[in-house]
Amino acid sequence: MKQLYLILLCSILFFSCNTSKKDAVDIHQYTNLLAQETSPYLLQHAHNPVDWRAWNDQTLEVAKKDKKLMIVSIGYAACHWCHVMERESFEDSAVAAVMNKNYINVKVDREERPDVDQIYINAVQLLTGSAGWPLNVITLPDGRPVWGGTYFKKEDWVNALEQMQKIYTQNPERLFEVANNLEEGIKSMDLLPLNEENVDLKNYNTNEILSQWQASFDNTFGGPNRAPKFMMPNTISYLLRKAKQSKDTGLLQYVTTTLNKMAYGGIYDHIGGGFSRYSVDKKWHVPHFEKMLYDNAQMVSLYSNAYLATKDNLYKEVVTQTLAFVARECTNSEGAFYSSFDADSLTKDGVLEEGAYYVFTKEELTKELGEDVELFSTYYNINSFGLWENNHYVLIRSKSDPEVCAAFGITNQELQNKKEAWRKALLSYRNKRDKPRLDDKILTSWNGLMLKGYVDAYKAFQEPAYLQAALKNAHFIKSKQWQTSGALFHSHKDGKSTINGYLEDYAAVIDAYIGLYEITLDDQWLLIANELTSYTYGHFFDSEKQLFYFTNDQDPSLITRSFEYRDNVIPASNSMMAKNLYVLSHHFDNQTYGATASQMLKNVLPEIEKYPSGFSNWLDLLANFQNSFYEIVVVGEDAQQKVKEIHQYYLPNKLVAGSTKAGNSPLLEQRFIENETFVYVCVNNACKMPETEVSKAIDLIEL
């Protein structure tokens, strides 16, 4: 009812006003301050005629002092529709004149300031029922929102600005009423009551939850039965685990169909490697061409684990090519990872166009591939199935390698050789085009995800370059993003670390460092993970609600201090943190960690039942409570080699600890025996008889 009331009230405010346009105003001398910023997204707007400012205390003080409404416009560097609105409105001097005359104009990079973004996303969600980017909100001078939406055409945008200013001048009390109601609504959106019921997590019935969820599956192309389609790697990861542990062949078929179709689809870059953000259609064909680090990081982890579970070489190929893309295009000299590539790039005519860098005409392919074009056209559907628009094709597969080999009478090795030659030729050809713009800021949270991707790839494939990349990035985070106070920075650009870290930064880095310890047995990474966890307890944890706030208690206060607990394209920072606590509770025999993880999970269970697809990472944690969770402890001079062998198995219900010498941690103490290397399989530190052979130790584990 409250949401409906807000929508109706704001609609009345908007449409009851006189919709006639005012006379055009001459643009005044503007002062765009974004050239002082480092965010590539903000710098994209540094030459707009709009008096843009960044979100900071000084900007908010100016708005309050001048008693002006604010425009808070939020986007990110790779956002296609953000660029469209910039071209249509923010580069237009007449539009800028209206904005500059009556408003304090604030540009926000949502990737740098996810805390600010979340407040206004929630506001627009309440106002309109949906939200996205670009996100454009009008606020009172104190920052409280009163109106907003996403993309607006130029005339609609100017009309809205003039009407809102008229209301503010003639009937400001109406905007204050909206602001009060919206503030109350925003504060209530992410409240999660403490669940004080005595919940039996081990026997909690997930069958009905899964049955409800399966009704939304697309069993033909995989993923959800709708368009657009996002890849949701943490969802597929959980369903893979569920299928393997419950021996559900139908569910496993759905998972592998999803993995195969994503790898076959145009959402995957068959020439350069890596995934785009989402597909606009149900068959994963035409992507929204932006490439985000966080997607590719998680997809590397997903396909690495899927390879362990299935030994399907398609999944190895995806990981190999995606990490080649990351190493080639997304990694700086310090081993840190850049954020994203734009969806848009310049055509040969100098027009900025979505997907221009990635697509081909049949004539181009014929010229570059010669006599191989027939085989290539069959393999990648240069036909009606793969046609996009304007006689351009987005490469998409529909047949497996064995099917193509049989049709053309060639061996698998011959086909692989041809595919490699095609990739080299077409990558060289398209690299002569203007490349999409790079967002070269470095985000700690996304680097943590990519570090974990390299760790998971190393576990599966034992490629030394993956370990080297993981270690280099881990040292970068440790030396550049970890402050002497114990806090993390969120962003790094041009040699400078800025912005106090959010819970997502801690959660991702802790998870990655735990994983790095498991492949190196270097306990510094585990100890740093524990230190970062202690810091989050001190500065993020609400002991009454038993959840972690998204922002540090040392950060300037916003309209509300929210909890992020719903999983999305990236798992919620609270679900990641709960899983970290669960694992660390075993490593350090820390009862507080374990109890907190359990209570956090109990808190979200009522919502899981209603919307399971929004809580897949929590369901993965629940699986740890429902099945035996193993501590595999390897101690002795050959520990490193045996750990490598252990990582060749798909075992989602385990952690690994080890040392080549005596240790005093709870899992290692009194387990070192000179001239021996033993593998201990334990549950809650109660161990079976040690084994010297990894295969025999694995036989003691129930998946």
Q: What number is the average pLDDT over the span 178-199?
A: 91
Q: What number is the average pLDDT over the span 168-187?
A: 94
Is residue 153 predicted with pLDDT exceeding 90?
Answer: yes
Asked if residues 294 and 300 have their Cβ atoms less than 8 Å apart, the reply is no
Task: Pick one of 3.40.80.10, 3.30.465.10, 3.40.30.10, 3.30.930.10 as the CATH number of 2-189.
Answer: 3.40.30.10
pLDDT attached to residue 158 = 97
pLDDT tens-digit readout, 575-631: 999 999 999 999 999 999 999 999 999 999 999 999 999 999 999 999 999 999 999
Asked if residues 523 and 657 have their Cβ atoms less than 8 Å apart, the reply is no
Burial class (CB in 10 A: 0-12, 13-18, 19+), 609: middle
φ and ψ at residue 656, rounded to 5 degrees = -125, 135
Query: From residue 571, how far is each of 142, 237, 378, 561, 574 by CA, in Å?
Result: 32, 11, 38, 19, 8
Q: Give the tokens for residue 336.
A: 């840190």
CATH topology of domain 207-343+439-626: Glycosyltransferase (1.50.10)
* pTM, two decimal places: 0.94
Q: State how far the Cα of 263 lies from the Cα of 319, in Å rounded to an integer.
A: 10
**Half-sphere exposure (Cβ direction) of 137: Cα atoms closer than 13 Å:** 32
Q: State how far the Cα of 93 lies from the Cα of 107, in Å rounded to an integer.
A: 17
Q: Give the tokens for residue 253.
A: 């078929």
pLDDT tens-digit readout, 14-53: 434 433 333 333 334 458 999 999 999 999 999 999 999 9
pLDDT tens-digit readout, 485-498: 999 999 999 999 99
pLDDT tens-digit readout, 390-427: 999 999 999 999 999 999 999 999 999 999 999 999 99
Burial class (CB in 10 A: 0-12, 13-18, 19+), 640: middle
pLDDT attached to residue 191 = 83
pLDDT tens-digit readout, 162-171: 999 999 999 9
- DSSP bridge pairs for 104: 70
Query: What is the band of 266 on the pLDDT scale with cuts at 50, 70, 90?
Result: very high
pLDDT attached to residue 485 = 96
Q: What number is the average pLDDT over the span 142-147?
A: 96
pLDDT attached to residue 190 = 78
Q: State how far the Cα of 217 lies from the Cα of 212, in Å rounded to an integer.
A: 10
What ranges do the domains of the chain cover?
A: 2-189, 207-343+439-626, 358-432, 630-698
Q: State how far the Cα of 508 lies from the Cα of 296, in Å rounded to an integer.
A: 15
pLDDT attached to residue 5 = 40
φ and ψ at residue 633, rounded to 5 degrees = -115, 125
Sequence-distant (6+) residues with CB within 8 A of 652 are 241, 244, 245, 305, 620, 623, 703
Q: Give the tokens for residue 572.
A: 């919620």
pLDDT tens-digit readout, 311-346: 999 999 999 999 999 999 999 999 999 999 999 999
pLDDT tens-digit readout, 631-655: 999 999 999 999 999 999 999 999 9
Is residue 195 predicted with pLDDT exceeding 60?
Answer: yes
pLDDT attached to residue 655 = 98
Q: State how far the Cα of 149 lies from the Cα of 499, in Å rounded to an integer.
A: 27
pLDDT attached to residue 29 = 46
Helix/strand/coil for 19: coil
